[in-house]
Amino acid sequence: MPKEAEYTLAWSSNVQGYEVTHGLSSFPVDDTTSLQFWLDRADTFHFCSPVGHTCTLRRETKQRGGGYWYAYKRVNGKVKKKYLGETRKITLAILEDVARFLVDPVPVSKPPPVPKPPPRRTPTLPPFAKSLESALRIYGFASIPKKRDLITRYRDLSKQHHPDMGGVHEDMVTVNLAYDYLKHFVK
């Protein structure tokens, strides 16, 4: 049987702040040193926020010293548990958030579906055959062009066939190979 909480840390409308109650005595607690001082001495306590969210907190110790806090709450017949960490990390705002979370956990949204890759497109340019005729056909020239015309056409074909612009990788390779071949013939 779990140990009952000796202490209660609850919002007091009389004090307009949190109070720790132990038996018949109570004293105010705030986020400054009084909360940390008190948590260093307590092992378990019941928490109640200003809006009525509640939970039980327990300090669990490690074999090599040091302790850490967990918050527990029974919801719909199941015990929910939330790790809070070391005493120095606990604040009243964190306690309020955890008490709210144990009652109304944030729904875990499903990850967005992985988009299907676009269907593989087939190259539209004829393959480069390492010949002047093949390079001219790819670039659409009837004869060897001037250097300026070749560069202009290369830029146009690059914009049209570059994979980042929606083109097919193989077409861009063909454009580059044909360009490298043609640039040896232009003046």
How many other CB atoms sit within 10 Å of the CB of residue 4? 8
In a domain, 124, yes or no: no
pTM over 0.75: no
In a domain, 108, yes or no: no
pLDDT for residue 108: 58
Residue-number span of the structural domain to which 82 is assigned: 7-103
| Count of structural domains within the chain | 2
Confidence band of 3 (pLDDT split at 50, 70, 90): low
Residues 146 and 76 in one domain: no
Query: What are the tens digits of pLDDT across the range 119-128?
Result: 777 888 999 9
pLDDT for residue 171: 94
Q: Which residues of 98-125 are buried (b: 16+ CB within 10 A; e: fewer)?
A: bbebbbeeeeeeeeeeeeeeeeeeeeeb
The enclosing H or E element of 182 equals helix 169-182
pLDDT for residue 170: 92
In a domain, 109, yes or no: no
* Domain boundary pick from 59, 86, 103: 103
The one-letter amino acid code at 35 reads L
Residues 13 and 55 in one domain: yes
In a domain, 46, yes or no: yes
In a domain, 115, yes or no: no
Quick check: 137 and 92 in contact, CB under 8 A? Answer: no
pLDDT for residue 1: 37
Name the average pLDDT for the chain: 86
Query: What are the tens digits of pLDDT across the range 42-63?
Result: 888 999 999 888 899 998 887 7
